[in-house]
Structure formats: structure tokens, C-alpha cells
Amino acid sequence: MILIIGGTSQVGLMLADLLNSVHEPFRCLVRESSRVEALEARGAEWIYGDADDPASLIQALDGVDYLIHIAGLWKAGPALDACEALGTVARVVFVSSASRFTKLDSRDPRERTLARSMAEAEDRIKASRVDCVILWAAMIYGLHLDRNIRQVIHWMRKWPVYPNFGLGRGLKNPVYAGDVAWAAWKCTLRADLPRREYIIAGKRPIRQKALLSAIRAALGRRVWLAPVPVWLGYAGVFLYRRLYPDTHINYAMVSRINENSAHISVAAAEDFGYDPLPFETGILRQVEHLKRIGEL
């Protein structure tokens, strides 16, 4: 039995699809405020509770062999406390963001705070008596829950011009959510994994401009990738934040557009046969999904 914490995320939903397809028993811990229709459609068993509450976790972990935690690495503590108290969980697989390595020096204070919290959680995980694996995922895309690639898709669907900040040469390696789900599941099957941390990224690095071109091609739209100076991008963020103060858009995002952040998954390929989709294939699947649910 596998327990998923974070089952309503895009990785969680694709993991539920995968486990259902291979007839692997699983349940999800969800908040009472969560919408469970998507999990119900995937044949998931769920239990209401709080990932920050060890009592809820102990109840949810009853009869569980493996825990896959996708609810934010900074919430690792209560899960580890519950697993250590029970002593029956064979392994915990944490799925977190590889941005933990790039945002510690971010110019945005909220990003720095989040990166520090992930680093602290990493220390707690490494000190635990529980067998743990951390999957550091690159930027994840694939469903309607994606906040990055999906925004680009909708912009290009609506407008014939998309701003290409700088020269668009920064290397990226976004990863399809289904590949992250597969990697998490695979880590529950291999008791002899030689490592306890893995980078999970796409098939191969892709430059920012090529990434935008692939999205444009997946939509079948003629969209001009208009060169825009980076300084103008900062001005745009300033105006946007004045209009929408609670937005997650920040200046650091503009800075990273032309930086290289192309994570490579060599160790995962060697140790458990990780073979992800190239972005050109994954973005076609995301566009098909958005059309299927009526979003496009």
C-alpha cells in the first residue's frame, strides 16, 4: 500500500493514474477543503487529514508500506515524525523542486526564504532513521494545474505576439509531470537504490527560445516571438505587481529567463532506468489535455 500526500497536485494526479493502471493499492491524504472528484475518477481511496498533524498522518499510514510526499519538502517534519513513531514504513519518497539549489541567492526574499526552508527540511530528512529518497524535480508541467507553461500556452492562444526577453538563449530542462510520477513510483520498487537523492528533469536541455517555439508549434499557431530587452521585462513586472500585489511574479523570474538551469538526470537513468519525454512531446500532451477538459 502506498500513501500519497499531495495527491491533488499535477504529479499526484498522474501518480494516481499510474498506480491505478498497474493495480497498485494506494490512498491519498487530503484536506477537507480539497476537491476529490479527480481522485475519485482515478479510483483512489482517500482519507481526510492534515499533513502538518502527526495524528492525522499516523491514521493515514495504517497498513502503508511506502509514502510518496509531494506536498512541499518544508512539510517533511511531521511525516517523518509519524513514520519514525510507527516504524512500519519501508521508505519515504519526497518530491521537491530543484529550484532549492538556485533560489538560495535569489533577489526575491520570498524565494530565498522558501529555499532555506527546503534546505532545513533536507537536513531533517538526512538525519532521520527512516529510509528516504529525495527527487529534485526541474520545472514541472503537464496538466491544468501547472502555473508556468500553462500561462504561456494561454497567452499564445489569445495573442499573436509573445515577449522573448533577452536573446532567449538560457538552457532549461522542464519535466513532464507523468515522468516525475513514474520516478517516484519506481523509487518504491527498488530497495537497493545506491543513492538517496536524484535530479528529475526532461529528456534534454532546451533553449528558452526553442521552448517557446515548441509551445507555439503544439498550439498550431503563428505567434511572433518578439525580442524584448530584459530591462523592459523588469518594468513590466513592476507595473504588474502594482496592479496585482499578491502575484507570484517577481523580478527574479525575469533574471532567470536567460540563465542556464538545465538539470540533467544521469544518476536516475543509471539507477532505475529513468527515461523522460522530450519537451516537444510533453507539451503536445499538455495541450491535448487542456483541449480535452475544455480549457482550450
Question: Can you read off the three cell numbers belonging to residue 242?
Answer: 502594482
* Residue 29 three-state SS: strand
Q: Over the stretch 193-216, which tens digit does the pLDDT of each residue have?
A: 888 899 999 999 999 899 999 999
Q: What is the pLDDT of residue 32?
A: 73
Q: What is the pLDDT of residue 154?
A: 93
The alpha helices in the chain, defined as continuous H runs, are: 10-21, 37-41, 54-60, 76-86, 109-127, 149-158, 177-189, 208-219, 230-243, 251-256, 266-272, 279-292
Number of neighbouring beta carbons within 10 Å of residue 268: 25
Cα dihedral 70, 115, 136, 196, rounded to 10, equals -90
Ordered by where they begin, the domains of the chain are 2-146+172-203+261-277 (3.40.50.720)
Burial grade of 255 (CB within 10 A; 0-12, 13-18, 19 or more): middle
Question: How far apart are alpha carbons 80 and 126 in whole angstroms?
Answer: 11
- In a structure prediction context, what are the per-residue pLDDT tens digits for the chain, which is 296 residues long? 899 998 889 999 999 999 999 999 899 888 777 777 777 777 778 788 888 888 888 889 999 999 999 988 888 889 999 999 999 999 999 999 887 777 667 667 777 787 788 888 888 898 899 999 999 999 999 999 888 899 999 999 999 999 888 777 778 899 999 999 999 999 998 888 888 899 999 999 999 899 999 999 999 999 999 888 877 777 777 787 787 887 777 666 766 676 767 678 889 999 999 999 999 999 999 999 999 999 99
Q: Model's pTM, two decimal places?
A: 0.90
Residue-level length of the chain:
296
Q: What is the pLDDT of residue 149?
A: 92
Question: How far apart are alpha carbons 232 and 106 in whole angstroms?
Answer: 20
Q: What is the pLDDT of residue 250?
A: 65
The values of phi and psi at residue 236, to 5°, are -65, -40
The values of phi and psi at residue 148, to 5°, are -110, -75
Residue 108 half-sphere exposure, CB side, CA atoms within 13 Å?
A: 18
The alpha helices in 96-229, defined as continuous H runs, are: 109-127, 149-158, 177-189, 208-219
Q: What is the pLDDT of residue 218?
A: 96
Q: What is the pLDDT of residue 251?
A: 63
The answer to whether the Cα torsion of 163, 165, 170, 175 is positive or negative is negative
Give the helix/strand (H/E) hosting 220. Answer: none
Q: Residue 106 in contact with residue 252, Cβ under 8 Å?
A: yes
The answer to whether the Cα torsion of 9, 236, 244, 250 is positive or negative is positive
Question: How far apart are alpha carbons 63 and 115 in whole angstroms?
Answer: 33
